[in-house]
Structures are given as C-alpha cells and as structure tokens.
Amino acid sequence: MQPSQSALNRQQGKHQVDEQRNAILLAAEKLFLEKGLDKTQMMDIAAAAGISKVTLYRYFPHKDAIAVEVQIRMLERIAAAVGLNAETFEPSLETVKVAVQRMVRSFDRLRDAYRYIGMFDSLYLDHPFDAEISQRTKDRLRAHWKGLESIERSKAAPESSRAEVILSAAIWFLEKIALRGELTWSHAAIPLEAHLDVFEEMVAVYIEHCLRENASKDN
C-alpha cells in the first residue's frame, strides 16, 4: 500500500527539519573552530546558516545545546575514523592499544575534531564533577551513547580502569597538541610527528607491561 499524502508530507517535513538542523550545526562548527566557542554568539550562527535568530531558536534553545551537539559530531568523527562503536566498545587493554594507535596516526585529518573537543572540555567539563554545567553536559552525552553506561559499570575492573585512564590520557594529549601546537611540544626543534610517535610508543610499552603483569598473575 502506498503511503498517504499526509504521511509523505510528514516525511518531507522531517527531512527538511533534519536538513536545516544539519546546516545550523555545520555553520556553528565552522564558527566555533574559527572564532572559538566563547566568542561565537547565536546571532553569528544564525547569520552563517542564513536564517533568522527566531528560526534558530526554534531548533536550539541556546548556544550550549548547539555546542553539545557539535561535540557529539566530533566524537562520532573520531570514533568512525578509529573504528570505535560506543554501543559495543569494551575498554580492555588490547582494544585501547589499537584505538590509541589509530587516534595518533589519524591526527592530521582529525586535528579540528581534537581542537574542538579541547575547547569544549575547557568551557563545559573543566569544572567540579558535580557542577551543574558538567552534569548537564555529561547527561546529554550519555543519552546519545547509551553504550557508555555499560562502560561506566565495567570501570570497576582493574584492567578496565587502566584502559579508561590510557584512553582519556590519549585524548587529552591530542587535544592539547591540536589546541596549542608547538607550545605543547617539549622542544620546538622536534617535529610534531616525532612527538606523536613517542607518545604512541609510550602507550604501547605501558600496555605491554600491563599485559605481562596480568599474565604473570594468572600463572
């Protein structure tokens, strides 16, 4: 049976809404990366998206909501590039070793994503754990990735805790490199590639140490 005209209209309307929403997020992402999160205003986003502020507020109640959605897009971009799936990801030492390797080796094409995450974390997450802005942001991220709940539960296991710390440290390092460039490097004469190679090697060596330690405990 063919869908009714009203159903077709609803589908078309949803498609148009999705297109407009995506256009807003693309415009906001470009502005956030160019001007910074703190210096971008709703009126800037509306102008860049070619819509009025009234229309913009129909889609997003405030800039914070837009910033979180762009954060989700950036995290999805990184996850896709390194082959992570938040619904099925298990934070073991082996999976984190592969993830970090891919994150480091994909730095050039993911640089803007890492830079945005650094800006976002500074503005929204670098607060006490129970601060309202931190909790609100984390709740939105958890609502998007329901798989994170199982990851949170698994952190009690020693190996999962180590894996989580390693992954967090890798993201932090790549954020800082993307945000601050040579200011983060130990020596300006050492090229970026060398810093990335050394960091990847450090992670691999530590994980191998942890795996050997685990194997010796099992024997």
Is-contact 91 164, C-beta < 8 A? yes
Is the whole model's pTM more than 0.85, yes or no?
no
The token pair that represents 55 in the structure block: 């229309």
At 81 the pLDDT is 87
User: Would you kindly state where each structural domain of the chain is located, as residue ranges?
Assistant: 1-61, 63-218
At 217 the pLDDT is 78
Q: What is the pLDDT of residues 58-109, one digit of tens each?
A: 999 999 999 999 998 998 899 888 887 766 777 789 989 999 999 999 999 9
At 174 the pLDDT is 94
Q: What is the DSSP letter of 182?
A: G
At 147 the pLDDT is 47
CA 76 vs. chain centroid, Å, equals 6
Return the closest-CA partner of residue 140 out of 67, 33, 82.
67
Is-contact 200 101, C-beta < 8 A? yes
Burial zone of 132 (CB within 10 Å; 0-12 exposed, 13-18 middle, 19+ buried): exposed
Helices (H) and strands (E) in the chain, counts: 10, 0
Whole-angstrom Cα distance, residue 15 to residue 35? Answer: 30
DSSP H or E stretch at residue 141: helix 132-144
Is the predicted pLDDT of residue 150 greater than 50, yes or no? no
Q: Which residues contact 41 (CB under 8 A, 6 or more apart)?
A: 63
CATH code for the part of the protein at 1-61? 1.10.10.60
At 188 the pLDDT is 67
